[in-house]
Amino acid sequence: MPKVIYGGQALEREEDQSVLDCLLAAGVDAPYSCRSGTCQTCMMRAVSGEVPERAQAGLKDVYAAQNYFLPCVCYPEGDLEITDPGDVGKLPAEVTSVESLGGGDILGIRLKPLTPLDYRAGQFIRFFKDEHLARNYSLASVPALDDELSLHVRKVPGGLMTGWLFDHLKTGDTVTITEAAGDCLYVSGKPEQNLLLIGTGTGLAPLYGIIRDALYNSHRGEIRLYHGSVTPEGLYLDAALRELAQQHPNFHYIPCVSGDNVPANARSGMVLDGVFADLPKLNGWRVFLCGHPEMVKSGTRKAFFAGASMNEIHADAFT
Amino acid sequence: MSLYDQLGGEAAVNAAVDIFYRKVLQDDRISRFFDGVDMAKQAAKQKAFLTMAFGGPNNYTGEDMRRGHAHLVAQGLNDSHFDAVVENLAATLKELGVSDELIGQVAAVAETTRNDVLGK
Ligand SMILES: Cc1cc2nc3c(=O)[nH]c(=O)nc-3n(C[C@H](O)[C@H](O)[C@H](O)COP(=O)(O)OP(=O)(O)OC[C@H]3O[C@@H](n4cnc5c(N)ncnc54)[C@H](O)[C@@H]3O)c2cc1C
Ligand code: HEM
Ligand code: FES
């Protein structure tokens, strides 16, 4: 009998039993609703074994690429080891550099994982100060291009984690992080598709990873990055992004400053105003939004109303 | 051929979901019921709704529909909102070039769920 391995337990599964029914029969409190592969309430992730194609039908391609699947319509041929979608392990990492970015209130942190870490550009890790305090930070690095993990952290006034990171974190420290999670990432396979990336503040971190990942994968469609900041110092990757735009004619960098002091080579105003003035129609575009929660929420709606398909909008709100 | 197959099956659901969901979110009569939920997760649930309304394969029971909408009934969900959803559904199908005859059949399927959805 084929087995389902969940939470370290091997569960026997009848041939005609779905993985969901197998879990439920074993007393696992697995979430579900439609039991027919549409609502995606039951989604889990396969760790090892073959997931039949049917169990991934209709999933966002970013989920399918990470072996997520729908247990209610999953009838695997062989054994399948699965976990809950949010289940990630912890690992130690060494801090290899800490530097100020853009001369303002943003910190660039580089980390070397001390045990192997699989991740995709654009995902985030959870970073622990101690047992009680942890926060999410997005990865600006690209596995194929960078040896180390790279984070961009913006100082939050009175912030527990950021206060500690800015005042105490130093090169050589060993810290605890989690494995990477999140679905705001580049999936290859549609090299001609246009990509729109919108970020405010350190929402640029995951977008920077996604852009470099797309270019590394020879993405040929247009790639437009809108980075919004209140101050000019907040355009903390300005030089690197201008250079990247010089090297890749299909990559466009549009910095937007919403405060008073707008540099000559940046747009004046809110980032979303800039985006939708340029691109009133987004049919066929893939859209990424990261950073300020209000911007992400309103940008997601606007992108959807402008014609982007819900399945092709990826967002991380920095809550 | 079943209604679902006549409409074009899963491909029809995929073609309809964005159009339908845009209409619902922009309809002031009902958009508040969809506020504050994760839009991406909602999109999958909209597909579940459409599959059901198209007479496609699903395992929802009347009881599921009652439970799934009970929190909305508590927020005042009533017949006028139900009618608005059916109207958006019909407009979506019209836009996709579906015949009035089939649209009528879809509306009739939706109608069978009214009492359960509204907790009557
Ligand atoms: C998926 C995800 C990815 C993230 N990636 C990044 C990243 O790459 N870089 C990054 O800098 N941050 C990122 N964040 C935000 C980060 O996890 C923390 O929330 C942030 O650093 C504040 O932590 P803190 O402990 O210093 O502040 P807290 O002690 O939690 O908050 C202090 C006060 O500031 C308010 N506050 C919290 N966050 C913000 C904010 N962003 N802006 C304004 N006020 C705030 C709180 O409401 C509170 O009043 C991400 C969040 C998520 C959910
Ligand atoms: C026309 C008949 C209707 C049918 C057949 C129907 C069907 C469904 C289905 C299948 C789901 C997914 C449940 C799940 O898997 O979690 C759902 C969810 C939902 N429905 Fe309906 N529905 C109907 C009417 C309405 C109306 C009139 C409204 C409000 C105006 C509404 C609002 C919602 C909302 C907000 C959800 C998501 C709830 C959540 O996220 O928890 N539905 N519906
Ligand atoms: S329970 Fe709805 S997709 Fe599995």
Burial of residue B8, with CB atoms counted within 10 A of its CB: 0-12 exposed, 13-18 middle, 19 or more buried: middle
- The pairing of strands A174-178 and A267-268 is unpaired
Q: CA B28 to CA B25: how far, in whole Å?
A: 8
Taking an 8 Å cut-off on Cβ atoms, the answer to whether A38 and B17 are in contact is: no
Domains annotated on chain B, with CATH: 3-117 (1.10.490.10)
In this structure, is residue A184 part of a structural domain? no
Give the A window 265-284 contacts with B, CB below 8 Å. Answer: none
Among residues A178, A208, A242, the one where a domain terminates is A178
Facing B57 at nearest CB: one of A33, A36, A57: A36
Closest listed ligand to the CA of A178: 1
Give the A window 10-49 contacts with B, CB below 8 Å. Answer: 33-36, 38-40
pLDDT in tens, A209-225: 999 999 999 999 999 99
Do A310 and A211 lie in one domain? The reply is yes
CB count within 10 Å of CB A268 equals: 14
- The domain in which residue A298 lies consists of 195-317
Do A200 and A310 lie in one domain? The reply is yes
> What pLDDT, on a 0 to 100 scale, did the predictor assign at position B37?
75
Q: What is the CATH number of the domain that holds A66?
A: 3.10.20.30
The CA distance from B99 to the nearest CA of chain A, in Å, is 24
CA B15 remoteness from chain centre:
14
Nearest to B25 by CA among A298, A40, A286: A298
| Contact of A313 with A299, CB cutoff 8 Å | no
Do A205 and A306 lie in one domain? The reply is yes
Both tokens of residue A183? 């679905």
Check CB contact of B70 with chain A, cutoff 8 Å. no
Do A165 and A208 lie in one domain? The reply is no
Question: Across chain A, which distance is largest between two alpha carbons, in Å?
Answer: 69
> What pLDDT, on a 0 to 100 scale, did the predictor assign at position B119?
95
> In chain A, count of helices (H) and strands (E)?
7, 17
In this structure, is residue A78 part of a structural domain? yes
Residue A8, C-beta contacts closer than 8 angstroms, at least 6 positions apart? none
Quick one: closest CA in A to B61, which residue? A34
Q: How many residues does chain A have?
A: 319
Q: Specify the number of domains making up chain A.
A: 3
Instruction: Say whether pLDDT at A165 is over 80.
Output: yes
How much is the pTM? 0.90
Do A131 and A205 lie in one domain? The reply is no
Q: What is the CATH number of the domain that holds A216?
A: 3.40.50.80
Percentage, residues of chain A above pLDDT 70: 100
Q: Which residues line ligand 3 at a C-beta cut-off of 6 Å?
A: A 32-35, 37-42, 70, 72
Check CB contact of A112 with chain B, cutoff 8 Å. no
Do A40 and A12 lie in one domain? The reply is yes
Residue range A98-116: average pLDDT? Answer: 93
Residue range A152-181: average pLDDT? Answer: 96
The CA-based dihedral angle spanning residues B18, B20, B23, B29, taken in that order and rounded to the nearest 10 degrees: -140
